[in-house]
Amino acid sequence: MLSTVAPGCALLPAQLVELTGLSLFWWIGPIVVFGVIPILDVAVGCDGSSPRDEDYEALSNDRYYRWCTFLFLPIQFTGLAIAGYMWSSPELQLADKLGLTVTMGLVSGIGINAAHELGHRAEHLERRLAQIALAQSGYGHFFVEHNRGHHVRVATPGDPASARFGESLWSFIPRSAGGGFRSALKLERERLSRKGKGWWCRDNQLLQAWSMSAVLFGAMTLVFGTGIIPFLVMQAVIGIGLLETVNYLEHYGLLRARRPDGRYERCSPRHSWNSDRLVTNIFLLHLQRHSDHHANPGRRYQTLRSSQEAPQLPFGYATMVLLAAVPPLWRAVMDPRVLDHYGGDISLVNRNLADDRITPPVAGLSRVAARLRLRRSR
């Protein structure tokens, strides 16, 4: 149930400002996500426990966990309706509206995480709810690209959502967003073609998802006026940015090896960064146990296991997002970990050899690799 705290941030700003008189609470989203949660992560620590094999079936079929994800949606959209009313209010200062927009953007981005969990399920209801959860961010093509694109190509140069070694977050976001969009178009055209259907049909999953966003944004504008449009767009962009930042840190520099037949090896826990920080895992439906998720995408979030084989992030996602925003700091923390994961062999790393801005100097890499080999030999 604590996973509903994140969307609950959208319900609280007006009430907290009214109770305390502090306009700071319009910014409760970033305060909780980038302030409270990282502190709690450090204070509470990691959770290395995993569900027992004999409990897997009962845990997977326990509908309590399913309803926790369902509950995300009414909280999310109630908060958006309240925000629409506040954005349209002439009494609210611009700075306060911007704080509310950032809060709603973070809720929108975390809503994509709920859609991620629902979209992996086989049940029609859950997959439809995944599309609805994506409506606030306008990122409906994620429903197609993530399952049929990213999970197939993860940790390879052909995957837009797998960050390359040395690539900054600010270079990655447009590459991932644009590449993911183009991939979703291609994948859906191919699926419809196999079924003998054209693009303009009711079965088009992209048109279904985008129409939900159009209806949502249109209804909000109709009820609260055109003045809320900039804030609606801004919160969607922030939500998309949060999603792509999480994509950036989940597979940074990791590469699946090619087999003799030219195909890539099967995805294993070694191809995703993990973090077992307990607090963030609770709030994000165990998204940080990403290695087990990619190795076993059919597992529901409550059954995901901790993995010792997976490379480990030094902090939880909330803290790593802040590090990623400062490329020199990110590289100082993460580049040695990537090289250490591959025993100092830079040839095993996912990098763009054609781009000097992305690929660090070979001499510098060689020195780092040599130090790592020396440390391992000792």
Summarised one tens digit per residue, pLDDT across range 106-117 is 999 999 999 999
State the pLDDT confidence band at 366, using cuts at 50, 70 and 90: very low
State the pLDDT confidence band at 375, using cuts at 50, 70 and 90: low
pLDDT per residue as tens digits for the range 114-142: 999 999 998 999 999 999 999 999 999 99
Q: Enter the DSSP assignment of 258.
A: B
- What Cα–Cα distance (Å) separates residue 17 from each residue in 13, 23, 78, 96, 115? 6, 6, 18, 10, 30
Cα–Cα nearest to 9, from 86, 102, 98: 102
Res 354: pLDDT: 57
Q: What is the CA radius of gyration of the chain?
A: 21
Sorted by sequence, the CB contacts under 8 Å of residue 287 that are 6+ apart come out as 113, 116, 246, 281, 293, 301, 317
Helix (H) or strand (E) holding 58: helix 56-61
Q: Answer left, alpha or beta for residue 69, where phi above 0 means left and psi between -120 and 50 means alpha.
A: alpha
C-beta separation of 342 from 374 below 8 A: no
Amino acid at 62: D
Average pLDDT over residues 207-220: 97
b/e burial code for range 91-111 (CB count within 10 A of at least 16 → b): ebeeebbebbbbbbbbbbbbb
Average pLDDT over residues 20-38: 93
Res 8: pLDDT: 85
Res 371: pLDDT: 56
Q: Is the pLDDT of residue 105 over 60?
A: yes
Q: Answer left, alpha or beta for residue 371, where phi above 0 means left and psi between -120 and 50 means alpha.
A: alpha
State the pLDDT confidence band at 5, using cuts at 50, 70 and 90: confident
Q: Is the pLDDT of residue 219 over 60?
A: yes
Please provide residue 274's backbone torsions phi and psi, each rounded to the nearest 5 degrees: -115, 155
Sorted by sequence, the CB contacts under 8 Å of residue 217 that are 6+ apart come out as 138, 229, 232
Q: Is the overall model pTM greater than 0.85, yes or no? A: yes
State the pLDDT confidence band at 185, using cuts at 50, 70 and 90: very high
